[in-house]
Amino acid sequence: MVPLLLVLLLALLLFGVGFAVKILWWVAILVLVVWVVGFVARGTHPSGGRHRWYRW
């Protein structure tokens, strides 16, 4: 009985890790899209040059 429970617990843990990794991939893609859009759509600085749209 204990080995069966350990196998089921391991399967559940691996499923959870896989789901979390999939969510992190979607978050990474979303951040990349926002960064690219911000890079392309940045405005011009009042002095005529381009300025950074981020603070760092």
Confidence of residue 26 (pLDDT cuts 50, 70, 90): very high
The residue ranking higher by pLDDT, 52 or 34, is: 34
The mean of the pLDDT values for the chain is: 80
Using CA atoms, how far apart are residues 1 and 8, in angstroms rounded to an integer?
Answer: 11
* 54, 42 Cβ separation under 8 angstroms: no
The predicted model gives 13-37 an average pLDDT of 89
- Residue 42, pLDDT above cutoff 80: no
Beta bridge partners of 50: 44
- Residue 53, pLDDT above cutoff 60: no
The predicted model gives 24-51 an average pLDDT of 77
